[in-house]
């Protein structure tokens, strides 16, 4: 199996590069952000609970997202591999993912960290706000999401660096150039 984790601050290009990796390698895309937005859109009880949390730029509870990922792994038993996008976002989530995957005799092979400086992140997300109107792309919420990333999510990079799995890539440049660097980092470039 080829299991890749795309990691980086909000606006680094995780969703964008995930799309390219899915098409390039036939992987199943697991984005907790997309799953949570789908719950909101469907107006489920869970969707109502998480709405305010997401709009405030805070993290949804570990229990909720770990359960969602566990269900998706079960649904896609036999897949050639997964691309994890926006999950794990805390060390608790990372440890849970490691043990979930161990239950299927597999593991994360590559963790790709997309590095983008803060000014560019804010610029991209404000642009997306104009184009897509996402309710968490407001100036105050963007700053909150970046702060939470630094405090709660960056330690996840150390978790995988200790295991020798972390690959750092600049997320500045064209989408194609960055994709080429990811392919090199995961050893899949022609």
Query: Per rule CB under 6 A, is residue 181 in the interface with ligand B4P?
Result: no
Contact criterion met (CB below 8 Å) for 83 and 32: no
For the CA atoms of 27, 136, 9, 165, the dihedral, rounded to the nearest 10 degrees, stands at: -30
- Give the pairing of strands 28-31 and 82-85: parallel
Stretch that binds ligand B4P, among 70-78, 87-95, 103-111, 155-163 (CB under 6 A): 87-95
In this structure, the chain runs to a length of 190
- According to DSSP, residue 44 is labeled -
Q: Which stretch binds ligand B4P (CB under 6 A): 8-16, 41-49, 98-106, 161-169?
A: 8-16
Contacting range for ligand B4P; rule: CB under 6 A; set: 14-22, 38-46, 75-83, 162-170: 14-22
In whole angstroms, how close is the CB of 37 to ligand B4P at the nearest point?
Answer: 7
Which entry of 37, 134, 144, 165 is annotated as an active-site residue? 134
Question: Does residue 33 bind ligand B4P (CB under 6 A)?
Answer: yes
**Six token digits for residue 72:** 């998706």
39 binds ligand B4P (CB under 6 A): no
Angle in degrees, 0-180, between the axes of helices 91-102 and 62-75, rounded to the nearest 10: 20
Active site members: 14, 89, 128, 134, 145
């Amino acid at each position: 199996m080829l299991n890749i984790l795309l990691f980086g601050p909000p606006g680094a290009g995780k969703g964008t590069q995930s799309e390219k990796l899915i098409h390039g390698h036939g992987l199943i895309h697991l984005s907790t952000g997309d799953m949570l937005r789908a719950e909101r859109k469907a107006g489920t009880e869970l969707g109502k609970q998480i709405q305010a949390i997401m709009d405030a730029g805070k993290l949804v509870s570990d229990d909720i997202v770990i359960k969602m990922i566990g269900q998706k792994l079960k649904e896609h038993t036999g897949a050639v591999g997964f691309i994890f996008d926006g999950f794990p976002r805390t060390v608790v989530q990372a440890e849970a993912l490691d043990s979930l995957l161990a239950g299927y005799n597999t593991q994360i092979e590559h963790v790709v960290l997309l590095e983008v400086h803060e000014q560019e992140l804010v610029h991209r997300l404000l642009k997306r706000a104009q184009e897509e109107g996402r309710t968490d792309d407001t100036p105050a919420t963007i700053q909150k999401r970046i702060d939470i990333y630094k405090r709660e999510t960056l330690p996840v990079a150390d978790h995988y660096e200790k295991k020798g799995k972390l690959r750092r890539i600049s997320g500045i440049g064209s989408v194609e150039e960055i994709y080429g660097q990811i392919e090199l980092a995961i050893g899949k470039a022609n």
